[in-house]
Chain A
């Protein structure tokens, strides 16, 4: 287990990180998800030993200060070195034997599928190849902890999914602990079973992807995760009143905003929580048997994801909540 113990970072007058406390299981992939400027890279730099926190520690199970090997967002392959020189850089500076360097380089290049790129320079490689070289450069050092900064942000969609699977495979093969930061929630959900939400330098929530989507702990998290309707209304005790829905709610914060995620909250099957009657004005195919449905209720517009062909356009339906709705 890795422990982030009350890590804070202040630069000039700006407080970038505020008392980050996290426990991260070894031999797992842990995602830190947050918007741009939330302090993700700063946190990763601290875990990599690149930056020192103004307060707090990053310790391993034995209570030792741990330093992870970083795969940078822009890869940072040394442009004056070949792929082989880049990959073996870490071993060379540690003065490993030439025979060992050669052997380990051959093995890692074979694993990464980049053996044929050995004499190329970084500017002769594609984005995907550069990422594989950057991963090889880190993994050749047999790190326990691998840190990845927005690892897939510069890859196209198809390559991104391929690399996500590849990284999962590497984690299993090398029994690594991977901590990666991203602002793409799909990436975080696909790669990790545990995601921490970092907003304004604070960890807002640590949960499994499904739980994050269904139970965001506060308005900031819900707003960042997006893909939800926020209905303005008034709140009196646990009763919410708005043109869309009026009735009992689960009050999490008293900002008076009804939280209706696009998926998982609204349904047509009857439950104990009737929502509203609405006119379906538009449907958009979302892939894999799903449609994004636009519903008009008293001049208000609400979006939700339903199974394909479950509703028809210009028809009025009674919708239900799957559980008591939340108001932030």
Chain B
């Protein structure tokens, strides 16, 4: 009993040190006016600094818009590709199923720098470098393995038996998809959308390389601040970055939990 308590305490401690402490530091950096070595705490805290900076800085706002545009585009394209792929993998047996399975996970297996260099070459060849579709399609490439896996794990629970019942009752394929497949697969869809959104938001190298500098997203802008020691600016970007990630996740969670019946 005692050892269980100690284990629990250690786990909480590790969690606090690894996650909560850096979060606290970022938060304090974003609201502190002066916080320099060797002070343990900031000398002057200004709670309004973050919001003033956020609403005044055109750079933060344009980064925010770029990040959201790319993330939303990536979510739409990823789900459009991942859903039929996951349905095919979970419902049907066909020649080349194993190969398709490997292909879907390939972006996670191949080193991303090698993949990006080649993707950049292809994008230049087809004139897509620097374009919205070019960046979104590369983001999609990295999101697909997660989305397919999350959708597949949920779809395989019932396979297509409810879809079969729906079509037998006279529903078209489209009606079946929106009235049966999606509501029954809400948890898988939630996971896939969330993961795609986060992965797209955190894409740094692919956005910079394929976007040709046209898309200065939050992560693209944040990185130089961090490397050049401008921690306060980086913290403002970091907090904004976390908010635009956590708020949609929370909203999606509310949609899944409260709209209709939770079934799996």
Q: B172, A93: Cβ atoms under 8 Å?
A: yes
Q: Which residues of A contact B169 (CB under 8 A)?
A: 69, 89-90, 93, 137-138, 141
- Is the C-beta of B184 less than 8 angstroms from some C-beta in chain A? yes
Chain B residues closer than 8 Å to A258, beta-carbon distance: none
Is B180 located at the chain interface by the 8 A CB criterion? yes
A76 touches B170 (CB 8 A): no
Give every chain B residue within 8 A of A141 (Cβ-Cβ). Answer: 169-170
**Is the CB of B240 closer than 8 A to any CB of chain A?**
no
B184 touches A79 (CB 8 A): yes
Of A48, A76, A79, A90, the residue contacting B263 (CB under 8 A) is A79
Q: Write out the residue numbers on chain A whose beta carbons fall within 8 Å of the beta carbon of B164.
A: 50, 76
Closest to A137 in B: B169
Q: Which of B162, B165, B175, B261 neighbours the largest number of chain A CB atoms within 10 Å of its CB?
A: B165
On whether the beta carbons of A50 and B184 are closer than 8 Å, the reply is no
The answer to whether B167 and A76 have CB atoms under 8 Å apart is no
Say whether A189 faces chain B, with CB atoms less than 8 Å apart. no
Q: Does A328 sit at the interface, judged by CB under 8 A?
A: no
Contact of A48 (CB < 8 Å), options: B161, B168, B183, B260: B168
Residue of chain A at shortest CB distance from B261: A80
Chain B residues with Cβ under 8 A from A94's Cβ? 170
Q: How many A-B residue pairs have CB under 8 A?
A: 50
Q: How far is the CA of A188 from the CA of B172 in the complex (A)?
A: 34
Interface size on B, residues (CB 8 A): 19
Judged by DSSP, the binding face of B is helix
One of A49, A78, A80 near B168 (C-beta < 8 A) = A49
A232 CB, min distance to chain B CBs, angstroms: 43
Taking A50-B167, A50-B168, A89-B169 as contacts, is the C-beta distance between A76 and B162 under 8 angstroms? yes
Interface positions, chain B 23-43, Cβ under 8 Å from A, are none
- Picked from B161, B166, B184, the residue with its CB within 8 Å of the CB of A89 is B166
Q: List residues 47-70 of chain A with CB under 8 A from any CB of chain B.
A: 48-50, 67, 69-70
Cβ-defined contact, A93 with B171, below 8 A: yes
Complex CA distance for A67 and B168, rounded to whole angstroms? 8
A93 touches B263 (CB 8 A): no
- Is B165 within 8 A of A70, CB to CB? yes
Closest Cβ of chain B to A211, distance in Å, is: 33
A121→B171 contact, CB < 8 A: no
**Complex contacts, A72 vs chain B, CB 8 Å:** 161, 165
Interface residue B97 (Cβ < 8 Å from any Cβ of A): no
Chain A residues, CB < 8 A from B172: 93
A70 with B168: in contact, given A80-B261, A93-B179 (CB under 8 Å)?
A: yes
Which residue of chain B has its CB nearest to the CB of A134?
Answer: B165
Write the chain B residue with the least CB distance to A93. Answer: B171
B125, chain A: closest CB distance, angstroms: 42
Assess the B161–A76 pair: CB atoms within 8 A: yes
Q: Mark B152-189, 1 if CB is under 8 A from A, else 0.
A: 00000000011011111111100100011001100000
Contact A76 B165 (CB under 8 A): yes
Set of chain A residues within 8 Å of B179, measured between Cβ atoms: 89, 93
List the A side residues contacting B166 at CB < 8 Å: 78, 89, 93
Write 16 A-B pairs (CB below 8 A) sorted by A numbering.
Answer: A48-B168, A50-B168, A67-B168, A72-B165, A76-B161, A76-B162, A78-B165, A78-B166, A78-B180, A78-B184, A80-B183, A80-B260, A89-B169, A89-B179, A90-B169, A138-B169
Residues on A close to B: CB < 8 A?
A: 48-50, 67, 69-70, 72, 74, 76, 78-80, 89-90, 93-94, 121, 137-138, 141
| Other contacts beyond A50-B164, A76-B161, A80-B263: 13, CB < 8 A | A72-B161, A76-B162, A78-B165, A79-B184, A79-B263, A80-B183, A80-B260, A89-B169, A89-B179, A90-B171, A93-B166, A93-B169, A93-B179
